[in-house]
Amino acid sequence: MSDAIARYIAANPASAARTKRAAASLPGANTRSVLHFDPFPLAFERAEGAYLYSLDGARYTDFLGEFTAGLYGHSHPVILDAIRTALDRGLNYGGHSELEGQLAELLIARFTAMELVRFTNSGTEANLMALALALHHTGRTKILAFRGGYHGGVLAFGSGEPSPVTVPHAWVMGDFDAVEATRALIREHELAAILVEPMQGSGGCLPASRAFLAMLREEATRTGALLIFDEVMTSRLFPRAEPGFEGVVPDLMTVGKYLAGGMSFGAFGGRRDLMAAYDPTRPGALFHAGTFNNNVLSMSAGIAGLTHVLTDAALTDLNARGDRLRTRLNEVVPTTGLGSLMTMHTDSQDLFFELIDAGYWIASRGMIALSLAITDEQCDAFADTVAEILC
């Protein structure tokens, strides 16, 4: 481990200098906590296709895919053309355009759970607004969430309890994928909402069983709670119009990340009768603001990606590629996930630094998110490298 870190320090003086300089203006030289690791984080200056280029001039094959947001790869020409066209027409109008309706139509056609949809600037915001709707609709206050879950910077439960910055709702904490224990919790508490990732992403790419999700659907219906699927990450695991994750359709669904082609974006949607509460033509409508909710860059990039890049065939091929990679990795290191999302589980950061030394970029916690730019050959080479490091 010490040798790997020593090689990392020697190879990346520009990243070290960036950290020292930025620390004068940013706490810990950081404004996105997940990117920090000791002795200092790697810093990049550009990206293209499947590759990242560091400040020190090294090239890395990107197996992290911007924590699932970079599904299209870096600088995809279709996305770039859409953004350039949007720039030529003006950045923000302070009014409506045709773009937001077009993107909404694409999302509703893609996700069975969405009969109406609203846009936000992030998945975090989408989850916050969905929860607000659930509390308003039910007149209740308690929300069931799960240990290890992550629903945004202010909705984090990685320690098993709400983090110090988590919004102070009346949280009820459950154990993920524990069917009967969770059923008992739901029956014990009068819940407004059940908030769940069908596969915990930041918690280690741990998929829920169909039995667990079906139980949540059954109990939510029986008790009058709203079932909210946070699919900010997992919505990329299935082709268009899949009838819910594992066939289970929630009342509300949140998405984000890749759906705006790398621009800031989030959305929440669901049953028409629920989402109608945000209709400003109705008396007593819920207020939902956001200066950049319908910004032309996110709308344009999102439309271009869903119309011209993310075909069902491309997505099916990508997730099959991920399944093959996960099978190979499991030969040498425990790896969980589905399709193009996975996490290698190891207690040592040695693998992380050795992969950097070999020219690969993943999350320091072992998470991998494949982009459409990653090839079978690159996956094979990555799996070979992991095997060489660990064996």
With vertex at residue 337, the alpha carbon angle to CA 336 and CA 340, rounded to the nearest 5 degrees, is: 135
> What is residue 313's three-state secondary structure?
helix
22 to 19, 26, 41, 52, 56: CA distances (angstroms): 5, 6, 12, 21, 17
Distances (CA, A) of 146 to 159, 160, 198, 268: 10, 8, 11, 20
Q: In this structure, is the dihedral angle defined by the CA atoms of residues 128, 134, 136 and 140, taken in order, positive or negative? A: negative
Choosing from 257, 258, 278, 360, the catalytic residue is: 257
Annotation says 384 is catalytic: no
| Those residues with Cβ within 8 angstroms of residue 283's Cβ, 6 or more apart along the chain or in another chain | none
User: Which residue in 62, 177, 230, 251 is the catalytic one?
Assistant: 230
- The tokens 């224990």 sit on which residue? 181
DSSP secondary-structure letter at 49?
Answer: B
Which one, of 218, 221, 210, lies nearest residue 245 by Cα? 210
Task: Name the 3-class secondary structure at 263.
Answer: coil
Asked whether the CA dihedral 212, 229, 242, 311 is positive or negative, the reply is: negative
Two tokens at 307?
Answer: 């119309």
In a 3-state reduction of DSSP, which class is residue 158? coil
8 tagged catalytic:
no
Order of strands across the sheet that contains 142-146: 116-120, 266-270, 252-256, 226-230, 191-196, 142-146, 170-174
Identify whether 312 is a catalytic site residue.
no
Element (H, E) at 17: helix 13-22
Cis peptide bond N-terminal to 334, omega within 30: no
Contacts of 181 (CB under 8 A, 6+ apart): 174, 175
Catalytic residue chosen out of the listed positions 8, 51, 72, 150: 150
Tell me the H-state helices in 173-209: 179-188
Active site residues: 150, 230, 257
